[in-house]
Amino acid sequence: MNAWLISALLLFPAELIYPKRASALVTLPIKALTDNPLKTSVDTLVEQAAQEFMTAPEAVGLSLGIFKDGQTYVYNYGTVEKGKQQLPTDQTQYAIASISKTFTGALLAQAVVEKRVKLADDIRKYLTGNYPNLEYEGQPIRLFHLLNHRSGLPFLLPDVPDAFANTAIPSSAIATELLQNYTRADFYEDLHKVKLDAMPGYMFKYSNAGAQLLGYILERVYNLPFEDLVRQKLTQPLAMSDTKIELTPADQASFAKGYNCTGVQMPMVPDQLQGAGALKSTVTDMLKYIQWNVSEATEAAKLTHRPTWGDIDRYSAGLNWQMLKSAGYRAIWQDGNIPGYSSLCVNFPELNMGIVVLSNECDRKTASRITALTNQIAKALDERAVVLPN
């Protein structure tokens, strides 16, 4: 150090020699409201992943459940309604959208176990009237095609593809309008008009109509309404009392309001969709469902995980479950996305582990963010967990 600089340091305040630069204002992210007790390593890893998820400006509320080695963990973040500081609870109900289809798959599996139907039955065996249109080059639509999205049936009945062209209008609102006063007789009349353009079982074509039709078929097989079947065969035996289609006034009070990316509250999905996407559930109930799937203790549970399409050692589809296998470990999952709600349920049978994530906001990126959140937590819990595609 030269003599001039030493003299300057002795004679003048350091601030004049080394003037401070104007510091940029740093806005620290505000942590989301949560009930996470932050007492265990699981609490800590969930907190890190969930708070990161909640930093998205679109995020509203989140309920997350983990089943691992016989123990369950529940965490809630955010709020059930924008403008309020009302944390979700383990009893907060969310729409689970297409995860509903796995319940329909479980009912089909149970019907097979009870020898009421066969997976490969021609669906026309359970329809009244003549449907020559529901085959292609002599190959019929079979029951299991209705849940692996290779039946060739349209996205929705009534089949009005142009109705969904205006992306400024929520698809749930469009579906609600289309299904206004749309009866089951209308559904079957439109089913007569369907034209298959490929052999069933080969080409992927996402179809809510297929799962909805399967719900109707199961009603006829058992001579019971679909929701009664869900209750009798699944939710009652598993003590899942908050999983249902029709909500009571008390249920509605605890139901999380759903929003799109701009914060607009979304209308509910029509109940007519039944097992295609109308079920609502709670994180507590879904953890019970996960345990049933992870244990594979019943023939019905095993059957829902049996591939009906694809490569059993890589990617395959079961009774609406997507399945991925790597190094002998399976990930069996399904997500659900409708305007206002996004969810994911994944089972890792060989690891005795499962995760469910329920949220009351859905935009173009929510499903991807939920998958990333789930992958982060799953790998932290057990590095052997199969990573879900994202």
- Report the pLDDT value the prediction gives residue 29, as an integer from 0 to 100: 63
- Report the pLDDT value the prediction gives residue 325, as an integer from 0 to 100: 97
- Report the pLDDT value the prediction gives residue 170, as an integer from 0 to 100: 63
- Report the pLDDT value the prediction gives residue 70, as an integer from 0 to 100: 96
d(CA 308, CA 41): 39
Residues 6+ apart with CB under 8 A from 379: 385, 387
d(CA 21, CA 341): 46
For residues 266, 93, 47, 261, the Cα torsion angle rounded to the nearest 10 degrees is: 0
Give me 384's structure tokens.
């052997």
Is residue 298 within 8 Å of residue 292, measured between CB atoms? yes
Task: Tell how strand 322-326 and strand 329-338 pair up.
Answer: antiparallel
- Report the pLDDT value the prediction gives residue 2, as an integer from 0 to 100: 43
In degrees rounded to 5, what are phi and psi of residue 115?
Answer: 60, 30
Per-residue pLDDT of the chain (390 residues; tens, 9 = 90+): 443 333 323 333 333 323 444 444 444 568 999 999 999 999 999 999 999 999 999 999 999 999 999 999 999 999 999 999 999 999 999 999 999 999 999 999 999 999 999 999 999 999 999 999 999 999 999 999 999 999 999 999 999 988 888 777 766 677 778 888 899 999 999 999 999 999 999 999 999 999 999 999 999 999 999 999 999 999 999 999 999 999 999 999 999 999 998 899 998 878 889 999 999 999 999 999 999 999 999 999 999 999 999 998 889 999 999 999 999 999 999 999 988 999 999 999 999 999 999 999 998 899 999 999 999 999 999 999 999 999
- Report the pLDDT value the prediction gives residue 377, as an integer from 0 to 100: 98
Is residue 131 within 8 Å of residue 321, measured between CB atoms? no
Residues 6+ apart with CB under 8 A from 7: none
- Report the pLDDT value the prediction gives residue 172, as an integer from 0 to 100: 65
CA angle, 169 then 173 then 175, to 5°:
115
- Report the pLDDT value the prediction gives residue 258, as an integer from 0 to 100: 96
Residue 63, CB-side half-sphere exposure with 13 Å CA sphere: 26
Residue located via tokens 């609600």: 176
